Amino acid sequence: MSGRLPEYELFDKSTKAIIYNMQTAAVQRMLDFDFACRRETPSVAAIVNPSGAGIHKCFWGPKEIIVPVYKTTHEAAAKHPDADVFINFASFRSSYKTTMEALKEPTIRTLAVIAEGIPERRTREMIAEAKKQGKWIIGPATVGGMKPGCFKIGNTAGPIENIMDTNLHVPGFVGFVSKSGGMSNELYNLIALACGPKNDEGKAYPALYEGISIGGDKYPGSTLMEHLLRYEANPAIKMLVVLGEVGGEDEYEIVEALKNGTIKKPLVAWVTGTCTKLFPGEVQFGHAGAKADDERETADAKNNALREAGAVVPESYDDLDEKIHQVYNALLEKGEIQPIPIPEHVKIPMDLAVAEKAGLIRRKTNFICTISDDRGEEATYLHLPISTVVEKEMGIGGTIGLLWFKKELPECARKFIEMILVIVADHGPAVSGAHNAAVASRAGKDLMSSLASGLLTIGPRFGGAIDDAARYFKAACDSGKTPEEFVNEMKAKGTNIPGIGHRIKSVQNPDKRVELVKEFAKKNFSSNRYLDYALEVEKITTSKKNNLILNVDGCIGIAFLDMMESSGVFTKEEIDDVVRLGYLNGLFVIARSIGMIGHIMDQKRLMQPLYRHPWEDISYNIP
């Protein structure tokens, strides 16, 4: 890949990168920069995620694109041989290993190592291997770098809004290199504002051609001097800016290059850390290399040496922008540079999450929740913290009241619901729900799959009569039909009366569960008009056949109507909604889930290698 670019260029408008680790924000910032630069193709070719391969969706301007994700660098490099930049977001613990792996890939030419704190011995090994292969390392402990109009590394220069405000997406003529990543971001803005006239909006014309942060470690993968030599060799760069740092002697290489004429282009330089002389003792700044071990390594000594060698050095950092502007004006007067017009900005759409946070847009939610809220310190059911529900001993009946009906039910209503759950939790293994759940369990399915198999059979012939009984009996009673008229009407339609009839139980063999529901309703509800109506219907149906009794499903649905009417917390419209929307079968779902799980676990306990499968009970009689 090195043959595509001159030796002094690391990036161009077709440069593509492989990103190590799922740094999705950095990826999106790179793509936004690409789009602003009017690149024809995205600069992110692939992502390496050791945890698993796949795809990553991101934006290319207003459209969504897909970036492939691979488990290894080798696979990513093999699939994308045109990607010659490797941006390593691995932690300091794994940066050495992953960087050395990337160095082995022949298609990788430039590596940016973001992590701080890599052991110095490991860093020197990475540098030695890169030098041996003629490759570039930017970092460690770097934010990366950028080349306006072409390419940027990760989070360099911050959000796209900052970049476009200072026209850092348009190529200029200044080659800049810095040790500090944070200061490099500041210098990008300073250079942009210090060079050139302002346009009608008060923004400077483009100035930066390329900027690199080499990182603040004692042993950087590439030095200030090495990048300045690239800039010196590049005819498009007319002016150099360097930001050094207290500690080390790298800046003295620049001093010698100025003295012997290796660097001929005008150079503005500043070494940060002049404030160290104000401290009584030795000062260690944030970077590993930012510490002066002797007078020669102080910021003042290096600034003086650079000034004496011919660099333009301000008296303080506050004057740095003025010095840059002076050099710019001198080049302008000589005709060596021309102000570069700013092209019309490409519109980068704002991400929805960012716009929402800033209060710039509003949108309707996809779902509305009015029964619970987990946004506060404690989750609530309706308006009550869960701890309050527990402290008030509202139980499962009270919880159902809050979450289903959005009401605090009176005690008798809560007890009624809990009694229903107890008496219909199970009715043996022969009913369809229990049977299906048991068969699925014996077939080796997990608990949830087995339970779902059983629940799917709940319907008109298994549990569904609770809702239908409430619906039909309420309509008949409320309309003023006599029980006899109701029975005759259903017979004329050819429709069985929901809640009436039992395969085993009869007048002579009553269902104890029905007796419990009736007894509770008569004792606790102030009105039993629906239950009384149903019992009158039962007298008519049992006179025809003694097993056409009010069964447990029907009794529950009908008694529930009386409970709601007697509780004093439901309006007529709310009772109508409960029946219309089909809440009551939910009681059967909850209760039978308890029983079905019992059957599932029972089968798992009993199942042995020689235990017969249910289909072995089938007898065949094929003619």
Look at residue 517 and tell me whether its pLDDT is greater than 50. Answer: yes
**pLDDT, tens digit, 9 for 90 and up, residues 521-558:** 999 999 999 999 999 999 999 999 999 999 999 999 99
Q: How far apart are CA 553 and CA 560, in angstroms?
A: 11
Sheet holding 151-152, edge to edge: 151-152, 145-147, 208-213, 174-178, 239-245, 267-272
Active-site residue, from 287, 435, 502, 599? 287
Distance from the first to the final alpha carbon of the chain: 77
**pLDDT, tens digit, 9 for 90 and up, residues 555-571:** 999 999 999 999 999 99
Q: How far apart are CA 331 and CA 337, in angstroms?
A: 6
Closest C-alpha among 47, 11, 9 to residue 26: 47
Sheet holding 63-70, edge to edge: 54-60, 63-70, 44-48, 16-20, 83-88, 110-113, 136-138
In degrees and rounded to multiples of 5, residue 198 shows phi and psi of -90, 150
* Structure tokens belonging to residue 99: 């960087």
Of 288-292, 601-605, 616-620, the least confident:
288-292
Q: How far apart are CA 446 and CA 429, in angstroms?
A: 18
What integer pLDDT is reported at residue 360 of this predicted model? 87
The most confident of 74-88, 182-196, 197-211, by mean pLDDT: 74-88
Look at residue 292 and tell me whether its pLDDT is greater than 90. Answer: no
- Report the number of secondary-structure helices (H) and strands (E) in the chain: 23, 16
In degrees and rounded to multiples of 5, residue 68 shows phi and psi of -70, 145
Q: CA angle at residue 250 from 245 to 254, to 5 degrees?
A: 105
Torsion angle, alpha carbons of 484, 488, 490, 491, to 10: 140
Are 571 and 514 a contacting pair, CB within 8 Å? Answer: no
For the chain, state the CA radius of gyration: 39
* Architecture of the domain spanning 2-334: 3-Layer(aba) Sandwich (3.40)
Bond from prior residue into 140 cis (ω within 30 degrees of 0): yes
Q: How far apart are CA 267 and CA 601, in angstroms?
A: 80
In degrees and rounded to multiples of 5, residue 245 shows phi and psi of -155, 145
The single residue listed with the structure tokens 């020689």 is 610
Contacts of 95 (CB under 8 A, 6+ apart): 88, 113, 114, 115, 118, 140
Long-range contacts of 579-584 (CB under 8 A, 24+ apart): 579/467, 579/470, 579/471, 579/474, 580/471, 582/467, 583/404, 583/405, 583/467, 584/466, 584/467, 584/470, 584/556, 584/557, 584/560
* Structure tokens belonging to residue 348: 């980068």
Q: How far apart are CA 449 and CA 451, in angstroms?
A: 5
Average pLDDT, the chain: 90
Q: What is the pTM of this model?
A: 0.70
- Kindly list the distances between the CA atom of residue 118 and the CA atoms of 96, 153, 215, 219, 244, in Å, as whole numbers in the listed order: 7, 20, 12, 10, 21
What integer pLDDT is reported at residue 306 of this predicted model? 97
Look at residue 2 and tell me whether its pLDDT is greater than 60. Answer: no
What integer pLDDT is reported at residue 112 of this predicted model? 98
Look at residue 392 and tell me whether its pLDDT is greater than 60. Answer: yes
**pLDDT, tens digit, 9 for 90 and up, residues 231-283:** 999 999 999 999 998 888 889 999 999 999 999 999 999 999 775 554 445 55
**pLDDT, tens digit, 9 for 90 and up, residues 208-234:** 999 999 998 889 999 999 999 999 999
What integer pLDDT is reported at residue 583 of this predicted model? 87
Instruction: Give the CB-side neighbour count of residue 59, counting CA atoms within 13 A.
Output: 16
Q: How far is CA 236 from the centre of its chain?
A: 42
Q: How far apart are CA 439 and CA 431, in angstroms?
A: 12
In one letter, which amino acid is 617? D
Position 22 confidence tier, pLDDT thresholds 50, 70, 90: very high
What integer pLDDT is reported at residue 1 of this predicted model? 43
Q: How far apart are CA 160 and CA 31, in angstroms?
A: 10
What integer pLDDT is reported at residue 342 of this predicted model? 78
What integer pLDDT is reported at residue 295 of this predicted model? 80
Class of domain 432-606: mainly alpha
Torsion angle, alpha carbons of 168, 328, 246, 177, to 10: 40
Q: Are 2-334 and 432-606 in the same CATH fold?
A: no
**pLDDT, tens digit, 9 for 90 and up, residues 419-478:** 999 999 998 888 888 999 999 998 889 999 999 999 998 876 776 689 999 999 999 999
Instruction: State the average pLDDT over residues 135-139.
Output: 97
**pLDDT, tens digit, 9 for 90 and up, residues 300-355:** 999 999 999 999 999 999 999 999 999 999 998 999 988 777 788 888 888 888 88
β-sheet bridge partners, residue 621: none
Q: Residue 16 carries which DSSP code?
A: E
Q: Please list the alpha-helical segments (H only) found in 212-298.
A: 224-233, 250-259
Sequence spans of domains, the chain = 2-334, 372-423, 432-606
Are 130 and 204 a contacting pair, CB within 8 Å? Answer: no
* Structure tokens belonging to residue 17: 């990168």
- Kindly list the distances between the CA atom of residue 31 and the CA atoms of 9, 168, 351, 420, 551, in Å, as whole numbers in the listed order: 21, 15, 13, 60, 67
Q: How far apart are CA 196 and CA 207, in angstroms?
A: 7
What integer pLDDT is reported at residue 386 of this predicted model? 96
In degrees and rounded to multiples of 5, residue 240 shows phi and psi of -115, 140
**pLDDT, tens digit, 9 for 90 and up, residues 101-126:** 999 999 999 999 999 999 999 999 99
Instruction: State the average pLDDT over residues 146-169.
Output: 91
* Residue 380, SS3 per DSSP: strand
Look at residue 411 and tell me whether its pLDDT is greater than 60. Answer: yes
Are 221 and 127 a contacting pair, CB within 8 Å? Answer: yes
Query: Which run of H or of E encompasses 622?
Result: none
* Residue 20, SS3 per DSSP: strand
Position 485 confidence tier, pLDDT thresholds 50, 70, 90: very high
287 is a catalytic site residue: yes
Q: CA angle at residue 319 from 316 to 322, to 5 degrees?
A: 155
Are 507 and 542 a contacting pair, CB within 8 Å? Answer: yes
Q: CA angle at residue 602 from 596 to 604, to 5 degrees?
A: 110
What integer pLDDT is reported at residue 93 of this predicted model? 94
Sign of CA dihedral 310, 316, 317, 322: negative
What integer pLDDT is reported at residue 610 of this predicted model? 46
